[in-house]
């Protein structure tokens, strides 16, 4: 006897039982449980008994009907007829549904992957890379890196999914920079883009790097140039005598006299502050924030550089202290003590003395290294004085504690040698 809607609505689980079955005939029945009512269909295929789960009542009614939206809603009996038709063709409806479910999952996964790749444009991936790397850089360097991408790369390939970019497309921003005559920028762009694609490969966004394998195929080779530096004794003497005749500001003249004796980096020199010096002990402690270090090391206050001062430097600094000692900066700007002299001040002063293209502030480091190596001083002590980072961490740890006495002696010998060159005619 077939089921009726009234029987279904009034159906209950008998006391003491977990479930009750109400049969509609031909294998279709309603499984009644405390949790709800479920349509099932029992059938046999290839000699095996199987049960097909049609769905839940009342989502699926007993018989088909027109829904509120005007669409036909299949009933349990409709589903039963479709299942019987499949079985008649030798098709297992349970396996068919499983296969369809698997295909739907694969299609959804494929679509999700495609959508993800479309969202992963070059700019999106580049900014993801930048967000990771920027904490390793000082703010100024980070600003330059993202600025190059925003000015030269994003306008051309930023909106393109990174996985579909071709080599000509990726090369084009670099070639554009070359066409504009900014070859140094083009070189930096090449390595920027290369690093971003390496990041993209590591994260599964791309399978290869669509960029020319060599820099020289995109950017003209950079001529081999060294920073201008005077290292011959006769010319060094002439330079030091010229400095004494500098007729610019007193602070700059003193900077020109002091800098040759120290061999520190120009940026560290110009930003020197009086509270970093112990003139009685003859030392200058350069703080980590003023040193040429990666961002993480700059933030470690222990990464100082101790510079031994010769008696000549101490005397010059005591002389300068009478003039600028009331402020913070050893070499204040002409605009006031709130800032130090600029990057170009000493370069321009050397140019005014007739040494443009022949000597730059950084050249004093080369001068020191050349002369002290020629005098046979310990190369490790020379490198330590120059604050060059040692790649051997164990050796660097030893160097940090060692060579101080040797460096004091070396800087005094160096100062005496410079004086002798200056005073010789």
Per-residue pLDDT of 3-56, as tens digits, reads 888 888 888 888 888 999 999 988 999 999 998 999 999 999 888 899 999 999
**pLDDT one-digit tens code per residue, 81-94:** 999 999 989 899 99
**pLDDT one-digit tens code per residue, 317-343:** 999 999 999 999 999 998 888 889 988
What is the per-residue pLDDT for 180? 93
**298 and 382 assigned to the same domain:** yes
**100 and 237 assigned to the same domain:** no
**Which of these three, 113, 145, 164, is where a domain ends?**
113
**272 and 419 assigned to the same domain:** yes
Would the pLDDT of 404 be above 90?
no
**27 and 94 assigned to the same domain:** yes
Q: How high is the mean pLDDT of the chain?
A: 87
- Report the C-alpha gap between 160 and 311 in whole angstroms: 63
Q: What percent of the chain has pLDDT over 90?
A: 51
Give the highest mean pLDDT range of 24-33, 368-377, 388-397: 24-33
What is the per-residue pLDDT for 1? 66
Q: Is 329 a catalytic residue?
A: no
**191 and 335 assigned to the same domain:** no
Say if 226 falls within a structural domain: no
Question: What H or E segment, with its residue span, contains residue 73?
Answer: strand 72-73
Mean pLDDT along residues 165-180: 93
Say if 104 falls within a structural domain: yes
Q: Is 294 a catalytic residue?
A: yes
Lowest mean pLDDT among 158-162, 239-243, 287-291: 287-291
**242 and 357 assigned to the same domain:** yes
From the candidates 365, 384, 407, 422, which is the catalytic residue? 365
Say if 228 falls within a structural domain: no
Q: Is 72 a catalytic residue?
A: no
Task: Name the more confident of 271 and 14.
Answer: 271
Say if 126 falls within a structural domain: yes
pLDDT tier at 291, thresholds 50, 70, 90? confident
Alpha carbon 105 to its chain's center: 36
What is the per-residue pLDDT for 298? 58
The beta-carbon contacts of 5-10 under 8 Å, at least 24 apart in sequence, are: 5/61, 5/62, 8/37, 8/57, 8/62
CA dihedral of residues 63, 64, 66, 70 (deg, nearest 10): 150
**pLDDT one-digit tens code per residue, 342-367:** 888 999 999 999 999 899 998 998 89
- Report the C-alpha gap between 9 and 284 in whole angstroms: 93
CA distance to 63, 80, 83, 141, 197, per residue, from 71 (Å): 14, 20, 21, 64, 52
Would the pLDDT of 375 be above 90?
no
Looking at residue 410, which CATH number applies to its domain? 1.10.443.10
From the candidates 97, 339, 362, 400, which is the catalytic residue? 362
Q: Encoding tokens for residue 229?
A: 């530096």
Would the pLDDT of 224 be above 90?
no
Would the pLDDT of 122 be above 60?
yes
| 3-state secondary structure (DSSP) of residue 114 | helix
Looking at residue 50, which CATH number applies to its domain? 3.30.160.390
Looking at residue 149, which CATH number applies to its domain? 1.10.150.130
- Residue of 392, 367, 360, 397 lying closest to 382 (CA atoms): 367
Q: Is 79 a catalytic residue?
A: no
Say if 227 falls within a structural domain: no
Would the pLDDT of 390 be above 80?
no
CB crowding 295-310: b at 16 or more within 10 Å, else e: eeebeeeebbbebbbb
**208 and 322 assigned to the same domain:** no
CA angle 402, 405, 409 (to 5 degrees): 135
Task: Name the more confident of 151 and 10.
Answer: 151
Q: Is 41 a catalytic residue?
A: no
Cβ proximity of 386 and 369 under 8 Å: yes
Residue 164: φ, ψ to 5°: -110, 0
**196 and 297 assigned to the same domain:** no
The pTM assigned to this predicted structure is 0.53
Say if 298 falls within a structural domain: yes
From the candidates 265, 290, 329, 384, which is the catalytic residue? 265
Q: Is 398 a catalytic residue?
A: yes
**17 and 85 assigned to the same domain:** yes
**Which of these three, 113, 146, 165, is where a domain ends?**
113
Say if 346 falls within a structural domain: yes
**288 and 194 assigned to the same domain:** no
**204 and 259 assigned to the same domain:** no
Domain count, the chain: 3
* Sheet architecture: strand order including 20-25: 20-25, 28-33, 36-45, 48-57
From the candidates 294, 297, 318, 395, which is the catalytic residue? 294
From the candidates 23, 72, 250, 398, which is the catalytic residue? 398
**Which of these three, 113, 132, 165, is where a domain ends?**
113
**419 and 281 assigned to the same domain:** yes
CB atoms within 10 A of CB 336: 9
Residue 175, domain extent: 122-217
Mean pLDDT along residues 271-275: 93
What is the per-residue pLDDT for 397? 47
Mean pLDDT along residues 221-231: 73
Lowest mean pLDDT among 49-53, 149-153, 264-268: 264-268
From the candidates 84, 388, 400, 417, which is the catalytic residue? 388
Q: Encoding tokens for residue 1?
A: 């006897």
- Report the C-alpha gap between 93 and 238 in whole angstroms: 99
pLDDT tier at 108, thresholds 50, 70, 90? confident
What residues are paired with 23 via a beta bridge?
Answer: 29
What is the per-residue pLDDT for 86? 92
Say if 340 falls within a structural domain: yes
Mean pLDDT along residues 115-144: 84
Q: Encoding tokens for residue 132?
A: 């990771």
pLDDT tier at 395, thresholds 50, 70, 90? very low
């Amino acid at each position: 006897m077939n089921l009726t809607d009234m029987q279904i609505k009034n159906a209950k689980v008998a006391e003491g039982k977990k479930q009750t079955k109400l049969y509609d005939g031909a294998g279709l029945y309603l499984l009644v449980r405390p949790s709800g009512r479920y349509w099932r269909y029992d059938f046999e295929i290839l000699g095996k008994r199987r049960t097909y789960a049609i769905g839940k009542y009342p989502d699926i009614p007993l018989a088909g009907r027109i829904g509120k939206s005007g669409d036909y809603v299949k009933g349990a009996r409709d589903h039963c007829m479709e299942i019987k038709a499949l079985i008649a063709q030798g098709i297992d409806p349970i396996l068919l549904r499983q296969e369809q479910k698997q295909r739907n999952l694969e299609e959804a996964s494929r679509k999700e992957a495609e959508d993800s790749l479309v969202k992963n444009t070059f700019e999106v991936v580049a900014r993801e890379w930048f967000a990771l790397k920027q904490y390793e850089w000082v703010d100024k360097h980070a600003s330059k890196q993202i600025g190059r991408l925003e000015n030269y790369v994003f306008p051309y390939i930023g909106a393109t999914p990174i996985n579909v970019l071709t080599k000509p497309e990726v090369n084009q921003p670099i070639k554009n920079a070359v066409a504009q005559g900014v070859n140094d920028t083009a070189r930096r762009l090449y390595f920027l883009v290369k690093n971003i694609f390496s990041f993209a490969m590591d994260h599964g966004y791309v399978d290869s790097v669509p960029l020319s394998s060599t820099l020289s195929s995109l950017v003209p080779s950079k001529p081999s140039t060294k920073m201008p530096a005077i290292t011959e004794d006769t010319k060094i003497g002439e330079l030091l005598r010229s400095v004494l005749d500098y007729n610019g500001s007193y602070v700059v003249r003193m900077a020109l006299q002091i800098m040759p004796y120290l061999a520190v980096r120009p940026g560290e020199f110009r930003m020197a502050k009086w509270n970093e010096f112990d003139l009685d002990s003859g030392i200058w402690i350069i703080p980590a924030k003023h040193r040429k270090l990666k961002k993480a090391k700059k933030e470690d206050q222990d990464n100082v550089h101790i510079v031994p001062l010769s008696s000549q430097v101490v005397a010059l600094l005591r002389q300068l202290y009478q003039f600028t000692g009331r402020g913070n900066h050893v070499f204040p700007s002409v605009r006031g003590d709130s800032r130090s002299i600029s990057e170009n001040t000493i370069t321009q002063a050397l140019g005014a003395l007739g040494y443009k293209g022949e000597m730059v502030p950084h050249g004093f480091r080369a001068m020191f290294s050349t002369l002290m190596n020629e005098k046979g001083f310990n190369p490790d002590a020379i490198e330590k004085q120059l604050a060059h980072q040692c790649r051997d961490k164990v050796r660097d740890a030893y160097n940090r504690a060692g060579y101080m006495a040797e460096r004091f002696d070396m800087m005094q010998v160096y100062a005496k040698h410079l004086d002798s060159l200056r005073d010789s005619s």
